[in-house]
Structure 1
Amino acid sequence: MSEQQLRGKTAIVTGASSGIGAAIAKELMKAGANVVLAARNEQKLAEITAEIEQKEKFLCIKADMTKQQDVDALAERTKAKFGKVDILVNNAGMMGSSSVVNGAVADWEQMIDINIKGVLYGIHSVLPEMVERGNGHIVNIGSESGFEVEKRLTVYCATKFAVRALSTGLEKELAKTGVRVTNISPGMVETPLSSMSPFEEDRKKLKATDIAQAVIYAVTQPDYVNVNEITVRPV
């Protein structure tokens, strides 16, 4: 891949303070893009800032994707620094107690707010200008849980089914506008979250960079090519 393939493009990556989001942000920068890393954890964002050499090509912004005012401010600050938003990667998400029988309502609400409403807020903040320009790319990071429901993950799976439905519907809404939509559904990825789970300790896992490469593949296609769905699972 050419390191200048995305030169002049600007991307926002949410949930970018660690794991998949941080890996996506770094790969986008390697491909030449200006990148805005958004997350709630300021300390982790500061640690990533210290790792990155090309300070002029990125910006870290504290943002809570469950708050529309934060998400709108994220888009405005990005445009103030780089002029426009070409790529939005909706990566922020959470997995909480997901059994309906257990009745963990607070966890359900958090997952719905971050995994569904956060995605919608992100899209809403950048889409009008993308449509006006006739160019842009929305990438939603879903999950293999958007295809199949496990009984211990009922509510989480429901949120990821929703992300996939939003991606599919948005792609249809945006047909012939020049704005592309990609839904990426990872299998289990080696992250701090999966490492702490007793259910996943014996499963082979993907690397965060594997998902980042899927994002790069989708966003570096010719403008007339819309990669709608990528599913990435370990062998």
Structure 2
Amino acid sequence: MTKVAIITGASSGIGRVSAVALSKKGWSVVLFARRSDKLLETKELCQDPEQCFIVQGDVSNETDVLKLFQETLERFGRLDLLFNNAGSGAPPLSIEDMPLAVFQHVVNVNLIGTFLCTREAVKIFKLQSLQGGRIINNGSISAYTPRPNSAPYTATKHAVLGLTKSTALDGRKFNITCTQIDIGNAHTDMAARLSVGALQPDGRIVPEQTFDVSHVGDAVAYLADLPHEVTVLTFNIMATGMPFVGRG
């Protein structure tokens, strides 16, 4: 039986490489994001584009999320994996200069979107004939240690860690597992600027080491293929030389 995965934020970066990695392992993949043209690009990169299904929408919009899960069931009849990958950052501003609208946008995408998708996945996992499933949440090094001027992103990633633990606990008796993958400096369009120079707590601008994002896709595919009897609660993957361990 072919396994089925939903990946949010599948139009680029980590979502795209994860879709490609799962496709290579024979998964059917549902690609979800706002940009349908970029989702088509992801689909064509997959091992079997015919086993990739595109749903366009906004992860922070409840109606769009409901459509995503309904159309997944209509197309494939079941769900085995949800990768809550969609995320948003904010301009690097001190908290006193942070507009409420900017803070709320990050909360809506990073936390509310993760909650909405988790809720719908759990409903399916509990009710389907082969009960259970796996959820992977895209966390961050920022779920543990912030960068300067990153209050919205850091706050939401700390919150996602709490949601990950609650999901793992509440899902235990239903064969539902939940993992948070914490990624540090994967070389995506969003993180490319770090290799040029990143603000450090002492005020210096320092180029940081990054690593090939394809390794994140491979890690997601590894986690996805574990049996439900095994839970990896948190999984850290980062550039060896990035300033995290030892605070610099």
Whether the TM-score (by the shorter chain) exceeds 0.5 is yes
Of 216, 219, 224, 1:211 maps to: 216
Of 132, 142, 147, 1:150 maps to: 147
* Structure-1-length-normalised TM-score: 0.92
CA shift, 1:23, in A, is 0.4
Of 187, 194, 216, 2:191 maps to: 194
Note if 1:65 corresponds to 2:59: yes
Note if 1:182 corresponds to 2:176: no
Q: Which residue of 2 aligns with 1:91?
A: 85
Name the aligned partner's letter for residue 225 of structure 1: V
Q: Is the 8 A contact 1:97 1:108 kept in 2?
A: no
How far apart are the structure 1 equivalents of 2:26 and 2:225? 11
How far apart are the structure 2 equivalents of 1:146 and 1:8? 33
How far apart are the structure 2 equivalents of 1:186 and 1:85? 25
Computed over aligned residues only, the root mean square deviation of the Cα atoms, in angstroms, reads: 1.6
Q: Is the 8 A contact 2:140 2:157 kept in 1?
A: yes
Structure 2: runs of 5 or more not aligned = 200-205, 241-248
Question: How many residues of Structure 1 are paired with residues of Structure 2 in the alignment?
Answer: 229
Question: Percent identity at matched positions?
Answer: 28
Of 207, 221, 224, 2:226 maps to: 221
How far apart are the structure 2 equivalents of 1:51 and 1:223? 28
How far apart are the structure 2 equivalents of 1:53 and 1:182? 25
Q: Is the 8 A contact 1:111 1:156 kept in 2?
A: yes
Note if 1:107 corresponds to 2:102: yes
Q: Which residue of 1 aligns with 2:10?
A: 16
How far apart are the structure 1 equivalents of 2:123 and 2:44? 34
**Change over 3 Å in CA distance of 1:53–1:149 after alignment to 2:** closer
Q: Which residue of 2 aligns with 1:116?
A: 111
CA shift, 1:223, in A, is 2.6
How far apart are the structure 1 equivalents of 2:232 and 2:64? 29
Note if 1:165 corresponds to 2:159: no
Name the aligned partner's letter for residue 127 of structure 2: E
Structure number with bigger Rg: 2
